[in-house]
Copies of this chain bind each other. A is one copy, B any other.
Amino acid sequence: MTPRSTAQNAELALLLEVAGTPKPGNVDRERDFEDLRFEHFLAGAVGARPGLELAAEGERVGHAFERAVAGMAEQSAGNTQFGALLVLTPLVAVASEGDLTPESADRVVRATTVADAADFYRAFEHVDVAVDEPPEGLEPLDVRRGSDAIPALEERGLTLFDVMARSADADGIAAEWVGEFERVFDAGERILVDDGPVPDRASRLFVELLAEEVDTFVVTRNDRETAEEVQRRAQAVLDGEENATELAEELVAQDINPGTTADLVAGALFVALERGLVV
């Protein structure tokens, strides 16, 4: 066990994630986007902590998440780690009960309610998050409507888990919610068995995850072809055919941002910290 609280470990996971370099296509210790910089991630992580503390205290997952996002958004660059907070909030909830397992995480997310779903929609009012157009017929549930969509949610009786289940095919974070956080827990173990400075482990893990599955944030912001090309390039780094730092420079220059993969790394770092990763 670490001497840090669960919420402290979650905040530290956010910070270690952004410190990991190179993480091709993401802000990292050595790279900024023009208007989304390292300092915004520092402020975002510090700001998110009160919401993470609510999750640790047993507050509803949706409400804790909405508060974490509200705090994260208290910097001038908008969204920094929305997806990471969506991974972390339920994990903090179960870790604070001393039971950070896939089964418990699954139990917590399946226990979410319509009120949690409403909080999730409210969270979109704090920041602009790149999302897909809703499928035909689901316009009333477009997350970009924020709290205006809440009556539609309530009418249909959708819980936050239901909302995630509807996005699981298109969103790698939602897929974790409905899949017992399998990639996150597995990746946390990989961080633990790796060695060397923690940001280096985060960087290596990032490239591995990027090579394993297409990044859904790239699919959303760019397109599937771009996401598949990024996946191939990440595999080429693993195969020693490409250089991770050069790929990082190139993706940042092209504004290609595999943010979902970074969010999964943040979750993995949290799992590892809770399981004894020494910093």
A16 at interface, CB cutoff 8 A: yes
Number of residues in A with C-beta < 8 Å to the partner?
29
Main secondary structure of the interface of A (DSSP, over half): helix
Q: Are A39 and B197 in contact (CB under 8 A)?
A: yes
- Please judge, given known A-B contacts A29-B30, A30-B30, A279-B76, whether A19 and B42 are in contact too, CB under 8 Å: yes
Q: Are B3 and A39 in contact (CB under 8 A)?
A: no
Q: Are A40 and B76 in contact (CB under 8 A)?
A: no
Which of A38, A42, A197 has the most C-beta atoms of chain B within 10 angstroms of its own C-beta? A42
- Mask, A39-64, CB within 8 Å of B = 1, is 11011001101000000000000000
Residue of B nearest to A2 (CB): B74
State which residues 2-24 of A face B: CB under 8 Å.
2-4, 8, 11-12, 15-16, 19
Q: Are B29 and A75 in contact (CB under 8 A)?
A: no
Q: Are B76 and A278 in contact (CB under 8 A)?
A: yes
Q: List 25 interface pairs A-B (beta carbons < 8 Å), by A numbering.
A: A2-B74, A3-B74, A4-B43, A4-B46, A4-B47, A4-B74, A8-B46, A8-B47, A8-B49, A11-B46, A12-B42, A15-B46, A16-B42, A19-B39, A19-B42, A29-B29, A32-B197, A38-B199, A39-B197, A39-B199, A39-B279, A40-B279, A42-B279, A75-B279, A76-B279
